[in-house]
């Protein structure tokens, strides 16, 4: 009996040693792959023509990598992700519902991207908060965004939510009409002809005034974040830790229907790859942030790509982001091994 127990104990010891060795070898390979990926992303970042900040988190294993993470980057329209989260948090708290109707008045028609400012020239349109949320996230409608920001309780509520969930180095401060106005160096107002009025004011500026406003905007810490902050926000959405499961899944589904930035994260990925993302563009900034689903049950990976201070065209910046996403996808799919479920 004692001899049998002794043999069993030795077998268990051997099995444990083998498992430890396999784990250490797997961990070593993972570190080697991450190092190789880091070197490749640093090389690809140079293609952006400016400074590129990158955040990568493999959601199932929590392997992560950040590039140029000590700097803050203008969020542009990617700041609509935390707005959406706070809006859905108010839904969870019973303060509002997505079926609540909103009146779109001329004062709500703000310049920039979207359809509400161009297609509707008379008051009287009613849209649900869910409609506004979808317009904000799918086509990046700025008028819908500022309506959602108000319905979410404003920027202070968003910053409190981020702080509560320990998401540091992200600041949400202004409505889109304020962000665009500060970038251009002009005061903007809502109205049925807001885009036309914006263009007229901008065309009246001198080159010196335009350059001065742009330089000031690029140094402004408002509505900026590090790649890590955005990556961790997306991780918390996916893991249902910042929102309840129903609302997390709703937001990710809406983001999977995003119609902007087809040449960014999705640009060089295999056709029909599932990507739930949000883009952002303003001045010398071009961004895309999202969750990419890997094939053959290899899990999901968050990719954040922020480009600032670029002197290249938008399509060239988009191509750099596409190369980053393809590289992350290839390394995650080819070299990552998920732990086997018992």
- Res. 34 pLDDT band, cuts 50 70 90: confident
The per-residue pLDDT for range 119-133, each reduced to its tens digit, is 655 556 889 999 999
Counting residues of the chain whose pLDDT is more than 70, the rounded percentage is 85
DSSP type of residue 282: E
What is the three-class DSSP state of 279? strand
Residue scoring higher pLDDT (12 or 267): 267
pTM: 0.87
DSSP assignment of 192-225 equals: TTHHHHHHHHHHTS-HHHHHHHHHHHHH--TTEE
Q: How many CB atoms lie within 10 A of CB 312?
A: 17
7-16, 236-245, 289-298: which range is least confident on average?
Answer: 7-16
Structure tokens at 282: 């303003």
**Cα 145 from Cα 75, distance rounded (Å):** 14
The per-residue pLDDT for range 282-334, each reduced to its tens digit, is 999 999 999 999 999 999 999 999 999 999 999 999 999 999 999 999 998 78
The per-residue pLDDT for range 187-216, each reduced to its tens digit, is 988 877 777 888 888 899 999 999 999 999
95-109, 139-153, 228-242: which range is least confident on average?
Answer: 95-109
**Interval 136-142 mean pLDDT:** 96
Write down the pLDDT at residue 8. Answer: 61
- Chain mean pLDDT for the chain: 88
**Interval 2-22 mean pLDDT:** 52
- Res. 106 pLDDT band, cuts 50 70 90: confident
């Amino acid at each position: 009996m004692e001899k049998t127990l002794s043999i069993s104990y030795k077998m268990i010891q051997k099995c444990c040693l083998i498992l430890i060795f396999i784990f250490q070898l797997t961990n070593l390979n993972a570190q080697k792959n991450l190092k190789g990926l880091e070197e490749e992303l640093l090389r690809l970042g140079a293609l952006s023509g400016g400074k590129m900040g990158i955040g990568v988190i493999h959601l199932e294993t929590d392997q992560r990598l950040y590039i140029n993470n000590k700097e803050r980057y203008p969020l542009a329209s990617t700041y609509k992700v935390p707005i959406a989260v706070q809006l859905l948090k108010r839904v969870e708290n019973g303060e509002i519902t997505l079926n609540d109707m909103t009146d779109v008045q001329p004062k709500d028609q703000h310049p920039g991207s979207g359809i509400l400012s161009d297609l509707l020239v008379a008051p009287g349109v009613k849209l649900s908060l869910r409609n506004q949320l979808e317009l904000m996230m799918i086509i990046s409608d700025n008028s819908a965004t500022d309506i959602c920001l108000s319905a979410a309780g404003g920027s202070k509520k968003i910053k409190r939510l981020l702080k509560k969930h320990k998401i540091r180095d992200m600041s949400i401060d202004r409505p889109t009409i304020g962000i665009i106005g500060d970038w251009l160096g002009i005061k903007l107002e809502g109205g049925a002809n807001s885009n036309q009025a914006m263009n007229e004011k901008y065309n009246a500026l001198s080159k010196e005034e335009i350059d001065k406003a742009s330089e000031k905007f690029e140094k402004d810490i408002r509505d900026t974040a590090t790649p890590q902050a955005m990556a961790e926000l997306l991780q918390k959405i996916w893991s249902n830790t910042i929102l309840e499961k129903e609302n997390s899944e709703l937001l990710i589904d809406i983001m999977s229907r995003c119609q902007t930035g087809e040449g960014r994260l999705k640009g060089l990925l295999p056709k029909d790859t599932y990507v739930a993302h949000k883009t952002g563009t303003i001045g010398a900034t071009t961004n895309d942030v999202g969750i990419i689903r890997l094939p053959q049950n290899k899990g999901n990976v968050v990719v954040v790509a922020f480009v600032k201070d670029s002197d290249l065209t938008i399509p060239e910046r988009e191509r750099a982001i596409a190369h980053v996403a393809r590289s992350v996808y290839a390394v995650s799919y080819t070299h990552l091994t998920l732990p086997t479920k018992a």
